[in-house]
Structure 1
Amino acid sequence: MLVELARTAPDTGLRIVVVGLSDAEDDRNAHRLAEAGATVYQLHAGRYDLGAVRRLAAIVRRERGDVLHTHLKHADLVGGLAARLVGVPAVSTLHVIESDPRGAAHRARVRAAVLARATLFDRVVALSEAQRAWYSSFHAPTPVVLVPNGVREPAPPSPTGARAALRAELGVDDRTLLGVTVSLMRPEKGHAVALAAVRLLPADLPFVLALAGDGPLLDTVRAEVEGDPQLHERVRVLGYRADVDDLLRAADLVVHPSHEDALPTSLISALATGTPVVATRVGGIPDIVGDDAGILVPPDDPAALAAAVADLARDPGRREACGLAGRARYDSTFAAPVWVSRLRTLYDQLLTPPAEPLHDGPVSSVALVSAVAPYPSDSGKAMVIAGFLRHLRSRLPHHQIHYLHVGPPLRRTAEFEGVQVHEMGQPSRTGQLVGLVRGVLLRRQSLQEAFLGSPRVAATVQQTLADLDPDLEIIDTVRMEQHVAGRRFRGRRVLYLDDLFSVRYTRMLEVLQDERIDADFDPLGQFSHNVPAQLHWLTRAPLTRRALLRFERGRVARSERRAARTNPTSVLLNAEEAHHLREETGAAVVAVPPSIPGLSRSAHQPDRWDGRPEFAFVGLLSLAHNHDGLGWFLREGMDELLALQPDARLHVIGRDADESLLADAARHGDQVVVHGFVPDLDEALSRMCALVNPLRFGSGIKIKTLDALARGLPVVSTPVAAEGIATHSRPGLIVVPDVVEAARALAALVDPIVRERQTQGAQALYAQRFADQVVAAAYDEVFGTARED
């Protein structure tokens, strides 16, 4: 498991140091960890050597460790004490379910371990729902979070013919079905049950079971197989194998007969290779197999195990369906990047704990304060807020969700089913001007805060929150935070910062100051409706635009830092920006992926691309970064694209294109089509070859990039537009430095083989980082909305 972690950790910005306390039977894994990039220490300490605490603490200080994560009881004790000595957060992962301790001594050890974790640890990690339910029954005060382990993408298949050669090595011909069991040979793994089940298989069923793995029972199992003619014919005892992926690919099904198992990694590997499973319904196994990746049977029941193996062996259609379902479960839940991202989120939350105690009870009422109209979800901000509401409705179907809206009354409320909308009003035009003077001159606010500042609106918001008394308050950016600043609250409060506007303004200035760039955009974007029309010219005139951007950058950076320090938890979409603000403030700032409404439906939308060079740009064109990026591509990239693909066509999807953009588009005739707002994005994008996202500035995560990846649509993107998703090109997301290179990348994607490879990469990237299960887990952790068992 730690080797898997070490291989994947660098992708999420984690540096792994592994400290082995005691001598292992061999040092194979120490070498594998070092090869994977981990720093490895071996203390060679005895079981009760308390000097190991001091030595471990010295290593943590030397390596400048941020979090100490322990595994198993001995490490919990030594690691927990060392963490307290150094003053770093401590996390303990459970690896077993000890629901039936054997004797008084065993029960005492289990209780002592629970007490040690409650005293020394900040979080306990459960690998499965069953394990979390078992541990929660002790009512220990340390929070228990669910973070199932993951495994890496299986190694590429061996050369053609290797599968047949491996089966031949095991004495399995084409007519015989091969079952594989991969686990340590210990009593709790149920090898005796597997052997008993083999004896019960129908004589006419051509089936061989291979047992891979070493352990204390290896010699016993081998002797039993060699001494029984029936088993000798049908069972192969392999011992330790380094080629598990190839072994699983060679198998027709996996057999896992454990009596107890928290979350067996071998079954996750079976999902990854698309191999169907027959396993016992114990521990975390149901979390892995579910209802569709195989058959689950009661433990210690050889007859049931034999019947399930026979049923699956005789039904090739069901085996294929189970394999496909298993691979889908791997991509969304058990891939190593999904697992490590969850760990990174957990560590980030621990590094800067909330300044105030949080509401500990279940969340039964929520108030979200925002100036955004989330429906229609035609911009990234609206999509994120709509995603929050969607998640809250899924978690709190019978409770109250309140949407406190600041601004003109919402015109569309039908989509708010299950949500009570409360209109908070808006500043009058006179009030805005008064607020501008008061906020900017007296309170040193940013302009965006000052234009939305209003004592009357703040009083309405605070009174409404007092009347509702919610368990959870979600405050949408510093613009709304000013309305609740200083208010005491009973429950949780989460400040959603969206993205760092200070970073956005810095990049705008860099573009404007580059004399090589023809940049013409209005930095107000969507915020323009909050600014009196008489003042709009200030952001369009070159001299005043730069001065205002410099002024706003400094003021909003100050507000972002202050808000982060004074709120228990602040949330950004971009992990790099969250790290930056956390480093600046020492506050609890975490990153969560956005939830994009409607993509569960679009996951089943067929790809209707017919081979033509049809490309799309998607985005609200009143946003400065979209306006600038599209104009840049139309002026400097489109000619290159047409030179390479003369019949290429760019479809611009998004409302509020101004005259300058329309003029740039018109220069290319009918090879650039401006559609405006398109209600059914699934239908429109299903016919595209790729999406182009050529931004020169902006911040946060670009929702349209995720939109495309979720649909399996390849994306050609500049580095700014890929931030928070990838730092370099990877299958599905091609990162280019400028629009000329973007045009060349788009032209290359017209090759069906190239596009198919990129399509598969896009779907895999989205499943690993942004699938519904990943997002829901992150929101549950931040909002405290996890379902109770």
Structure 2
Amino acid sequence: MNILQIIFSIEKGGTETYLYNLLDNPEEDVNYFVICDHEGTNHEKILNRCSNVEIMKMRNVFDIVAARKVAKYCKENDIDIIQTHFLRENYISVLSKIFNPRVKIIWTTHLIAENNSIIKFFNRIFSKFVDRIVCVSKAVELSLIKEGISPDRIQVIYNGVDTDYFKPLGDGFIRDELNIEKDTLVLTTISRFRKEKGYSFLIEGLNELKKYIANFKALLVGEGEDQGFIREKVKEYDLENHVIFLGYREDIPEILAATDIYISPSENEAISFSIIEALSCGVPVVATEVGGVPEIFEKGHVGVLIPFGDKDRFAKVIVELYNNNQQLNSFKSNCRDMVIKNFSQISMLEKTHNLYYDLIKG
């Protein structure tokens, strides 16, 4: 079985993590191929995982030239299924069926998008020509149904994490590296610096928190276009002694081992790999009640949900957990088991591979 993954480029985000999970764990009879529009910032990672990587320009959602090239590539490599990850690649793949109607298409939706009426209209049309739509959460599924897309074509497969890699470790060396004392409360956020990730709200919440707790550090892990703006906001609120910018890091389990509470301040989130990774490492989470995030918390008592933008509630919840070790430890004891039961990589892969087999047999 030959599966073609089409993604615009390989960057540093959840969609790429999803793709790595597939490429690192193929079934014996599954061969993967990848098409990208260009080499992204993490292109080397895809080359290390897949020997069949092609660069193919995709200029717009209706690029018929690209569609013809995709069809030709599929015929030459005997591709059975195309799995797409964003709107552009999905439309182009559907158009490629004009030239290669035998190929099956899976449209994987990783985002809850605020689409305009034109995109909603074309989504309804193009969805009729895909064989299955995979949503990473029920919230994503609901957003598509509201656009008028038939639920019969939709299947929810939750993101899963490698629980053998993301697991509780000793305190390790991160606190030593950053000169953080053992009795200091450590809060961590891991995501790109983009507006929807809620960093502005996080800084406002931390500014409120310092009124009640003097001894805390917030580790901000990631890169992105809004980092400069957030650095200025940290200075504006005189939080330089509390906030540490770590940039892009690969040693996430070690950072989480030094973390007391993981913070997810997002304004919009389909579902979060970072939250699930933190929980798999035994770290309780305080997260905004947005998108598919509540679906994680419905599976077990692993933390606290707060309204996005409510800095007072943010500070109050952190203070309550800081002063209530019994509650915090209760959350910790539930985190990892909940992930293993509901958000493991093994479960995600099994459901995805079964989908491949069902489409081929069908």
Pick aligned residue for 1:88 from 103, 114, 137: 103
Q: Which runs of 5+ in 2 are unaligned?
A: 1-17
Match of 1:33 in 2: 46
Give me the whole-angstrom Cα distance separating, in 2, the residues matched to 1:38 and 1:321: 45
Query: Aligned equivalents of 2:268 and 2:188: distance in 1?
Result: 18
Q: Which runs of 5+ in 1 are unaligned?
A: 354-789
**Equivalent residue, structure 2, for 1:322:** 331
After superposition, the Cα gap between the structure-2 partners of 1:38 and 1:8, relative to the gap in structure 1 and judged at 3 Å, is farther
- The 2-side partners of 1:190 and 1:328 are apart by 28
Number of equivalent positions: 340
Query: After superposition, what is the alpha-carbon deviation per residue over 1:244-287, rounded to whole angstroms, capped at 9, x for unaligned?
Result: 22212221111001111101111111121111100011111112
Partner of 1:110: 120
How far residue 62 of structure 1 moved from its aligned partner, in angstroms, is: 2.7
Aligned-partner residue type, residue 4 of structure 1? N
From 253, 257, 264, give the equivalent of 1:249.
257
Letter paired with 1:8: N
User: Which of structures 1 and 2 has the larger relative contact order (alpha carbons within 8 angstroms, sep 6+)?
Assistant: 2
Indicate the SS of the match to 1:148. coil
CA RMSD of aligned residues (A): 2.3
Residue 309 (structure 1) aligned with residue 318 (structure 2)? yes
* TM-superposition CA deviations, 1:148-173 (whole Å, max 9, x none): 1112235377997xx44212333321
Q: Are 2:73 and 1:59 aligned?
A: yes
Paired with 1:168 and 1:84, the residues of 2 have a C-alpha distance of 59
1:154–1:273: 8 Å Cα contact kept in structure 2? no
Paired position in structure 2 for 1:2: 19
Greater Rg, structure 1 or structure 2? 1
- Contact preservation (8 Å) 2:166, 2:281: no
Q: Distance in 1 between matches of 2:51 and 2:275?
A: 25
**For residue 110 of structure 1, what is the amino acid of its counterpart?**
K
Q: Does the 8 Å contact 2:167/2:280 carry over to 1?
A: no
Rate the CA distance shift 1:177–1:53 in 2: closer, same or farther, 3 A.
Answer: same
Pairing partner for 1:16 from 32, 35, 38 = 32
1:207 Cα deviation after fit? 1.6
Correspondences of 1:211-222 after superposition (within 5 Å)? 211-222=220-231
Q: Call closer, same or farther: CA 1:314–1:64 in 2, change over 3 Å.
A: farther
Q: Which has the higher helix share?
A: 1
Partners of 1:268 and 1:330 within 8 A in 2: yes
Is 1:174 paired with 2:189? no
Show the counterpart of 2:6. Answer: none
| CA shift in 2, pair 1:56/1:323, >3 Å | farther
TM-score computed with the length of structure 2 as normaliser: 0.86
- 1:47 corresponds, among 60, 63, 68, to 60
Q: Deviations over 1:478-503 (max 9, x none)?
A: xxxxxxxxxxxxxxxxxxxxxxxxxx
The alpha-carbon distance between structure 1 residues 271 and 38, as it changes in their structure 2 partners (threshold 3 A), is: farther
Alignment of 1:381-530 (within 5 A): none
Shift of 1:174: 0.5
1:78 offset after TM fit, Å? 1.1
- Residue identity in the other structure for 1:19: I
Percent of matched pairs sharing the same residue: 24
2:174 match: secondary structure: helix
Determine if contact 2:189/2:219 at 8 Å carries over to the other structure.
yes
1:155 and 2:165 matched: yes
- Contact conserved, 2:104 with 2:359, CA < 8 A, in 1? yes
Give me the whole-angstrom Cα distance separating, in 2, the residues matched to 1:321 and 1:158.
Answer: 15
Note if 1:78 corresponds to 2:92: yes
SS of 1:299's equivalent in the other structure is coil
Task: Tell me the CA shift for residue 316 of structure 1.
Answer: 2.6
Matched ranges for 1:745-784 at <5 A: none
Q: Secondary structure at the match of 2:218?
A: strand
Quote the residue 1:146 is aligned against: 156
Partner of 1:584: none
- The equivalent residue for 1:277 is 285
Q: CA deviation at 1:227?
A: 4.1
What's 2:3 paired with? none
SS of equivalent to 1:9: coil
Contact 2:167 2:282 in 1 (8 A): no
**8 Å CA contact 1:71, 1:93 repeated in 2:** yes
- 1:277, 1:289 within 8 Å by CA — same for their partners in 2? no
Partners of 1:271 and 1:193 in 2: how far apart?
A: 22
What SS does the corresponding residue of 1:208 show, helix, strand or coil? strand
Residue matched to 1:97: 112
Match of 1:210 among 203, 208, 219: 219
